[in-house]
Structure 1
């Protein structure tokens, strides 16, 4: 049994580090877009808008019921065959698009649950003083739902960062893609994949610390 090539692993650190910004960029952009889309989907589900409610339910069912990798391949390799406007789509755009739609489906259900979790008496009180549905959601329901769902959304963001590792299957050279190329050139697969695993681990643990701090702060706010 051979020992790990520690020198190679140390040399690989700055290489992988150079692709961290791209990984975080894809995750952050996807998260922001997914949050907007998920909020709209959740509101449609809560309001039970005719026709739209069934369309949204089908959307959520599809993206929750199929693997993320299949969805990425569908957007990058499949849809350009039908839509000529997508023929020039690059791997980064396809990855962001796929991550956005995939996680929006999950986040929509979490946001919907948080909205419905707000005491019904608050809905009735707001309506009794003449608030419109938009005012009710914006001023009373969504602020409370946000406190409830924030830790869950952080979990989705962590999952999204890990999901960016699939972007290398679309030809994107992010952290996983860089590790794959280095491993293919050196044949030191264990060392390359171990280093990239440590990078993901450090990023996730850093975010987990922030998540715990957020939960503590939100808990104090609710207690007051």
Structure 2
């Protein structure tokens, strides 16, 4: 059994950290786009409900890795213009579609959780649908869904690790490259595992502070 080479692991850390911004960028962009798509799905444009149901069903029922391969390697054979999409864009688009399907359900449940009497009160004073959603419903639904959405963001950060299968040099891709160069797989992947662990635990602490802040605000 080989001992751990801490000098190698510490030397590898700055190399991997250099790819953290790309990993976080993909997660943040995908999270923003997924949130917008989720709200759009909840609004339910007349005549498109069946597409919404089909969209959510497909992206919740199929693995993220299958979706990445289908979109990046499969669809370009059918639609030639997709060959111009690079790995980063493809990964962001797939993460967006995948997680928006879950987030749509979370946001829909949060909106449904707002007391119907507040909807009726808003209508009784002549509020438009858009104004009621913006000023009354969404702020309360946001409080209900906030912690769930943080969990999805954490899952999205971990999901970016699959982008290396598309040739994207993010954290996982950089680690794979370094490990292949010297065959020190355990040490390399242990470093990246600890890095993900620290990142997620930091977000967990932020989630706890967010929960305390939201509960304190509504306890007044």
Shorter-chain TM-score range: over 0.9
Post-superposition offset of 1:189: 0.6
Post-superposition offset of 1:81: 1.6
Q: Residue 68 in 1 paired to residue 80 in 2?
A: no
Post-superposition offset of 1:11: 1.1
In the aligned structure 2, how far is the partner of 1:222 from the partner of 1:69? 40
Q: Residue 161 in 1 paired to residue 157 in 2?
A: yes
Give the structure 2 partner of residue 26 of structure 1.
26
Give the structure 2 partner of residue 148 of structure 1.
144
Give the structure 2 partner of residue 52 of structure 1.
48
SS of residue in 2 equivalent to 1:87: helix
* 1:21-71 deviation line (CA, Å, top 9, x unaligned): 110111111111111111111221xxxx54311210110010000000001
In the aligned structure 2, how far is the partner of 1:218 from the partner of 1:164? 29
| Mapping for residues 132-147 of structure 1, pairs under 5 Å | 132-147=128-143
Give the structure 1 partner of residue 106 of structure 2.
110
Give the structure 2 partner of residue 120 of structure 1.
116
SS of residue in 1 equivalent to 2:161: helix
Gaps of at least 5 residues in structure 2 are none
In the aligned structure 1, how far is the partner of 2:101 from the partner of 2:212? 27
Q: Residue 216 in 1 paired to residue 218 in 2?
A: no
In the aligned structure 2, how far is the partner of 1:93 from the partner of 1:171? 12
| Mapping for residues 70-109 of structure 1, pairs under 5 Å | 70-109=66-105
Q: Residue 190 in 1 paired to residue 160 in 2?
A: no
Give the structure 2 partner of residue 206 of structure 1.
202
In the aligned structure 1, how far is the partner of 2:32 from the partner of 2:2? 45
TM-score, structure 1 length as denominator?
Answer: 0.96
Post-superposition offset of 1:84: 2.1
Post-superposition offset of 1:4: 1.3
In the comparison of the two structures, how many residue pairs are matched?
220
In the aligned structure 2, how far is the partner of 1:209 from the partner of 1:66? 31
TM-score, structure 2 length as denominator?
Answer: 0.97
In the aligned structure 2, how far is the partner of 1:171 from the partner of 1:126? 51
Q: Residue 15 in 1 paired to residue 15 in 2?
A: yes
Once superposed, which parts of structure 1, at least 4 consecutive aligned residues long, lie more than 4 Å away? Answer: none
Post-superposition offset of 1:82: 2.0
